[in-house]
Structure 1
Amino acid sequence: MSFLEATAASDAVLTVSQLNRQVGELLQGHFSRIWVRGEISNFTQAASGHWYFSIKDERASVKAVMFRGRCQAVGFVPKPGEKFEFRAAVTLYEPRGDYQLQVESMRRAGRGDLHEAFLALKEKLAQEGLFDPARKRPIPSMPATIGVVTSLAAAALRDVLTAMARRAPHVRVIVYPAPVQGLDAASKLNAALNLAIERAETDVLLLVRGGGSLEDLWSFNDEALARSVAASPIPVISGVGHETDFTIADFVADLRAPTPTAAAELCCHSREACMRAVRVAYASLCTQQQRLHERASLRLDRAAALLVSPQQRLSQQALRLQGLNQRLSRAAAQASARHVARLDAVRARLARAQPRPQGLRAELDYRRQALADAARRLLEHRRQRLLALAQTLEALGPRSILDRGYAIVRKENGEIVKNALDLSVGEQLGVELGRGSVRVDVVQVHGLL
C-alpha cells in the first residue's frame, strides 16, 4: 500500500505543515536528479546572490531556485527568453505549498557543447592557478600610454576612445587591431596581444569588445589567448560584453571591467582627478615651504642672539684658559700622589707574594700522595663495577636463557614467533636450542585465552 493510500485509509487529521512536509518527502523520494529543458522567465538575482526564476515551455511553467554557490560555477548570468537545460532536484517549498526545482547546474540548450567546453577550460585553468588573485599584477594609477586590443570597426573601440578623450586626453592610446568575431578571431587577437607585449610601448593593455551571444564572444574563451593574457608582463584589463557576460579572458585578466567604457575608466585616473591631486600637492608644498621659512627665521634670530663682541669672547677664552690651567695643576699633583700610593701597594703585595719553598714542597708531596690514593680507589671501584656489569650481561644474554631450557622459534623468513595464532598448520619453523637447532612442522595451533 502506498503512502497516499495509507493516509486516505486512515482517520488521522494532518495539519497543513505536516501535509506539505510529507508531500515534499514524497517528491524528493520519487524523483532523483533530473534534466529539464525550458526557457527562463521572471528572472531575479537577489542581493544574497541566489537566482529565482521560472522555467517554461509552450504549455506550462515551473518555479526554480539556484543558490549562490551553484550560481558562481555557471560563469555567466542567464537572460530571460534564453533556453537552457537544467539539472535539478524536485522539492516542495513548504511555507506556500509550491513545488519547485532546485537547480544544481545548467547549460545552454542546443549549445551544450560550447558551454561544456567553457566550463572544462575554466576548471583546467583554475586548477593551474591562472585565476589566483595573488598572481595578478597591479594596474598602474598614472599610465602614460595604454594599448587597446580590439577591432577597428568595433563599437567598443569608439566607447574607449570617447571615454579616454573625455576623462584623460593626456594619456596616449595605441590600438592593436584584430577581429573580435569569426573563425580566426581568437588567433588574431592572440597575435595582436603578443605584438603589444613584444613592442612594450604601453603601461597597460585593454582587451575589449561589445556584448553578444555565447558564440559571438567565443573568441575570448580561447586557451592560447588566456595563457597569453596570464603571461603578459604588462597588466591587462578585460572589458568584454556587458556586465552579465563572462569569458575566460575575464577570469585570467588582472582586472575585469563590466563594459569597454568601464575598462577605459579603470585603466587611469581622470584628468580632473589628476589636476585635483596636483592642486592638493601644490597647496601642501606651499604650506611646507612656509613652515620651513618660518623655522629658518627663528633659527636666524636665535643665532643672532648668541653673537658676542671679539673683546668679550677673548675675555671669556682667557677665563676659560685660566680655569683649565688650574685644573691641569691639580690633576698633575693628584696623579703623582696616586702613583706613589700604587707603588707602595705593589711593594707590599710583592713582599707578601715571595715564595716559601720548604712549605710548598711539603704540601706538594702531600697532594701527590692523595692523588695517587684517589686514583687507586677509583680504579678499584671501576673494576668492581665492570665485573658486576659483565655478570649481569652474562645472566641476561640469550645464550644463558637458552641454556636454561628455553628456545627461539623463527619462521622461514627469520621472523621470531611470539604468538601461536600467527602460525598456520603445515608451516615450517626453525627452533634454536641451547645446544644446536632443529627444523619442525606445525601440526596443530593452540591459542591462549
Structure 2
Amino acid sequence: MGRVIFSVHQINEYVRGLLGRDPILQDVWVRGEISNLKIHSSGHIYFTLKDEQDRIRCVLFRQNQRDMAFIPSDGMRVLVRGQVSLYCKDGQYQIYVMGIEKDGIGKLYLAFEALKQRLKAEGLFDAQHKKPIPPFPRKIAVITSPTGAAVRDIIKVVRRRCPCVDILVVPVLVQGSAAPAQIEAALDYVNTRDDIDTIILGRGGGSLEELWAFNEEVVARAIWRSRIPVISAVGHETDFTIADFVADLRAPTPSAAAEMAVPMLQHLQEMLAGLNVRLMEAMRNMLLHKRKGLEHLQSSYVFRYPDRIMQQRKQQLDQAYTRLCAAFNDILSNKRERLSRLAAALDALSPLAVLGRGYAVVTLRPSERVVYSVTSLKQGDGITVHFKDGRADCRVEKIEGGVYGVR
C-alpha cells in the first residue's frame, strides 16, 4: 500500500474540520479563571482560561464585546460561551468567545486581596515609611532574572542616561516555587553591602501566576525591612503586585525603573552649564555694583577733604574732653562735700569729743576694762582715769553709792 503524505496545512485544516463538525464544540460553555489577559490595539482580547489542572487559549473579538457588562481581568472566574476551533497558523486549538459572564473571583486573586488587606492594616503600605530615592546614586543593585529582557532594558537605560553609575546584577528566579526565597535572600544580601544606594526589583510582564512570586509575604517583608530604597518594576503598567505596594517607589516597567533610579547625565550637564552662566552673570553684576560703590566713595567728601574730617573729629574730641573734666570735677566736689558731712557726724560721736567736754573714762587695772559702775570696784583697786590730754593712775580708797556720790 502506498504512503499518503499530507502537508501541515492539510492536517490542520482536517483537524479544524473535525472540530467544526462536532455539535458540542460549536456552542459550548466553559468555566475557568482568566490569566495572561492582553488587550490588543485592535480591541480584540486574548487570554488564557484555566482551572486547577489545564488551560486553553481564548480570543474575544471586538464585535462580540458589545453586550459585555464588565471588563475582564486576570484572576477573574468566568463562564465562557464560544466555539472550539483550531488556529491553523499556530497549530493550537482555542475558544472563539461569543459571550462571557462572571463566575466569582479566582483563588489567586482572593489570596492576593487577603494578603494585601492584611499587610495594609499592618502599615506596610503607609507613605510615611517610604524612603526617598537617592537623586545621584553611585551604584545600584538590580534583582531580577539574568536572562530576561528586564535586566537588558535596565542596563541599556542606565548606560544611556548616566554611564558613571555602577550596576550590580543579583540573579534570581522570578517565577516558580523557589523564586520567593531567592528574592528574599537577594534583598537581605544587598542590604549587607555599603556600596549600594538603590535597589531595582522586577521582571517583565506575565500572567498572574507568573508574577505570583512578587505577591508572596516573604518578599513583601524583605522589601519592608530593607534599609536601602527599593524600586518595584514588576510586569507591565497594568500589572500590580504586593511588592509594588510595599516598595518605596513603583515603576510601571523595568525601563521606567531605570529612568527613576538614575539621573540623565546630559540634563545634569546642561543644568550645570546653566548654573555656571548664572554664576558668572551674578559675579559680573556684583563686581559692577562694588565698582560703582568704590567710585562713589572716591568722589565723596571724606576722600576729597580728609584733613577737614580730622579737624572736625579733633574738635569733637576736645569738646568731649572738656565735658568729661567738668563732669569729673562735679562728681569729685559732691564726694568731698559728702565726706565732710560724714566726718563731722563721726567726730560728734567720737569718745575724744566727749572727753573734751570735761568727762573722763575710768578703766580697771590690769585688765583695762571700762568701769561702768561703782559696783565693779572695791577698796584698794588700781584704776586709770583717762582725760582728753592724758591719764592718771589712782587707787580706790573709798566707795560711795548714788549719783555722783550724793546720797
Pick the aligned partner of 1:254 from 248, 264, 271: 248
Greater C-alpha Rg: 2
How far 1:261 sits from its partner (Å)?
0.9
Pick the aligned partner of 2:73 from 55, 58, 78: 78
Query: Which structure's residues are more often strand, by fraction?
Result: 2
RMSD of aligned residue pairs (Cα, Å): 4.0
Pick the aligned partner of 1:214 from 208, 225, 232: 208
Matching residue's letter, 2:105? R
8 Å CA contact 2:158, 2:262 repeated in 1: no
- What CA deviation, in whole Å up to 9, does each residue of 1:269-295 have, x standing for no partner? 222221221122111221122123223
- What CA deviation, in whole Å up to 9, does each residue of 1:155-202 have, x standing for no partner? 111111121222222322111111112221111111111111111322
8 Å CA contact 1:37, 1:83 repeated in 2: no
Given the alignment of the two structures, is residue 320 of structure 1 paired with residue 320 of structure 2, yes or no? no
Given the alignment of the two structures, is residue 64 of structure 1 paired with residue 69 of structure 2, yes or no? yes
- The residue aligned with 1:127 is 121
Q: 1 CA distance for matches of 2:309 and 2:123?
A: 78
- What CA deviation, in whole Å up to 9, does each residue of 1:65-94 have, x standing for no partner? 58xxxxxxxxxx816xx85259xxxxxxxx
- What CA deviation, in whole Å up to 9, does each residue of 1:125-149 have, x standing for no partner? 1010000111111112222221100
Matching residue's letter, 2:290? A
8 Å CA contact 1:149, 1:177 repeated in 2: yes
- The residue aligned with 2:233 is 239
- The residue aligned with 2:272 is 278
SS at match of 2:221: helix
TM-score in terms of structure 2 length: 0.56
SS at match of 2:191: helix
Structure 2, gaps ≥5 residues long: 1-29, 40-57, 80-99, 342-407
TM-score in terms of structure 1 length: 0.51
- The residue aligned with 2:105 is 107
8 Å CA contact 1:176, 1:193 repeated in 2: no
Q: 1 CA distance for matches of 2:65 and 2:148?
A: 41
1:133–1:320 distance in 2 versus 1, CA, 3 Å: closer
Question: What's the % identity of the aligned pairs?
Answer: 37
1:63–1:38 distance in 2 versus 1, CA, 3 Å: farther
- The residue aligned with 2:166 is 172
- The residue aligned with 2:22 is none
Query: Which structure's residues are more often helix, by fraction?
Result: 1
Q: 2 CA distance for matches of 1:341 and 1:204?
A: 82
Q: 1 CA distance for matches of 2:176 and 2:59?
A: 32
Pick the aligned partner of 1:297 from 287, 291, 294: 291
- What CA deviation, in whole Å up to 9, does each residue of 1:270-323 have, x standing for no partner? 2222122112211122112212322332343345446758xx756653553344
Q: 2 CA distance for matches of 1:328 and 1:83?
A: 101
Structure 1, gaps ≥5 residues long: 1-35, 46-55, 67-76, 87-99, 349-449
- What CA deviation, in whole Å up to 9, does each residue of 1:348-396 have, x standing for no partner? 9xxxxxxxxxxxxxxxxxxxxxxxxxxxxxxxxxxxxxxxxxxxxxxxx
1:279–1:121 distance in 2 versus 1, CA, 3 Å: same
* Higher deviation after alignment, 137-146 or 287-296: 287-296
- The residue aligned with 1:414 is none
1:300–1:61 distance in 2 versus 1, CA, 3 Å: closer
- The residue aligned with 2:54 is none
Q: 2 CA distance for matches of 1:60 and 1:159?
A: 35
